[in-house]
Amino acid sequence: MATKGPHNEDPNDKALNKGRREFLKHSSLLTALAVAPPHLVKAAESALDEKAAVYFEQVPLSLEVNGVHHKLSVEPRVTLLDLLREQLALPGTKKGCDHGQCGACTVHVNGRRVLSCMSLAVMQEGKKVTTIEGLANGDQLHPMQEAFIKHDGFQCGYCTPGQIMSGIACIREGHANSDEEVREYMSGNICRCGAYPNIVKAIADVKKGGHKL
């Protein structure tokens, strides 16, 4: 007979949790944060103390997204991806694997490409985030967006925001001097439809155009 159950809790653990919960209940948010942030983070990570999370796991965060300043309260465990999609209603950035393995969630932080599923929101304090929604100027598309349309750099479109954000960064980094180099520096973005040849063409085209990105 096989018994399966991932969380066989240690009774000592439970007592500990109870203690922590009580402690947290009787502290104010700021006191709790000042006194015991590592415990809080740990509690959140292990998902053992959800009530604590509900009461106290909100950290102030101030950042700029697509040119708009936000003053927010976020749980420390929230990823930049979830912050964008769920709290800021910017669903253009996609969740493909949530493990940093597909590139669909690529955004720019202070101009550099970052996998938003692998970045905690709280780490972006004071930074400037650009998502796919922030590229165009009204109806005027960014040159990379234009190029993806011109070269059909997509099929289903799901990986496209990540590809475009990555493509822009690839040029900014000076890594688009040849098709070979584009391939190397775009290899972290998976396109299951296989639109790769057109993606390379689009990036090469923008590079050739010499736009300031």
Partner 1 sequence: MKNIDAYTHVRGESIYLDDIPLIQGSLFGASFGSPVAHGVITNLDLRDAITHPGVVRIFTHKDIPGENQIGGIVPDEPLLAGHEVHFCGMPVAFVVADSMEAARAAVKKIKLTIDPLPVITDPREAQAQGELIIPPRTFQLGDTASSWSQCAHIFEGRADTNGQEHLYIETQGAYAVPQEHNAIKVYSSTQGPTAVQRAVSRVLGLPMHLVEVEVNRLGGGFGGKEDQANTWAALCALAAHHLKKPVKYSLHRMEDMAMTGKRHPYSADFKIGLNEALKIIAYEVTFYQNAGAAADLSPAVLERTLFHCTNSYYIPNVKATAYSCRTHLPPNTAFRGFGGPQGMFMIESAIAKAAEELGINAAIIQEKNLLQTGDEFPYGQKAQSEAPECWHKAKTLYDLDAMLQQVQAFNATNTLYKKGLACMPICFGISFTKTLMNQARSLVHVYMDGSVGITTGAVEMGQGVNTKIAQVAAQVFSIQPEKIKIHTTNTFKIANTSPSAASATADLNGKATMLACTAIADRLKKMAAEELGVDVRLVALQNEYVYVNGQRTDRDWKSLVMAGHIKRIGLSEHAHYATPEIYFDATKEKGHPFAYHVYGTAFVSITVDCIRGIYTVDAVKVVHDFGASMNIAVDMGQLEGGIVQGIGWMTMEEVVYDTNGKLRSNALSTYKVPDIYAVPKEIAVEFLQTPHENLAIFRSKAVGEPPLMYGIGAYFALRNAIRAYNENGHFPFAAPMTPERVLMALYPTQKKGITESHEETINHLAVDK
By the criterion CB under 8 A, which residues form the site for partner 1?
1-7, 47, 50-51, 54, 85, 89-99, 101-102, 104, 131-133, 135-136, 141, 145-146, 148-149, 152, 154-161, 164, 183, 186-187, 189-200
E strands of 75-209, at which residues?
106-109, 112-115, 128-130
Q: Which tokens belong to 130?
A: 């650009």
In the bound state with partner 1, the residue whose beta carbon lies nearer, of 146 and 205, is 146
In the bound state with partner 1, the residue whose beta carbon lies nearer, of 34 and 183, is 183
**What is the b/e burial string over 35-45, where b = at least 16 CB atoms within 10 angstroms of the residue's CB?**
ebeebbbebbe
121 contacts 78 by C-beta, under 8 angstroms: yes
Q: Least distance from C-beta 153 to partner 1, angstroms?
A: 8
Q: Least distance from C-beta 168 to partner 1, angstroms?
A: 12
Q: Least distance from C-beta 68 to partner 1, angstroms?
A: 16
Q: Least distance from C-beta 104 to partner 1, angstroms?
A: 6
Closest by CA to 176, choosing from 150, 147, 202, 149, is 202
In the bound state with partner 1, the residue whose beta carbon lies nearer, of 192 and 208, is 192
Closest by CA to 60, choosing from 39, 92, 37, 91, is 37
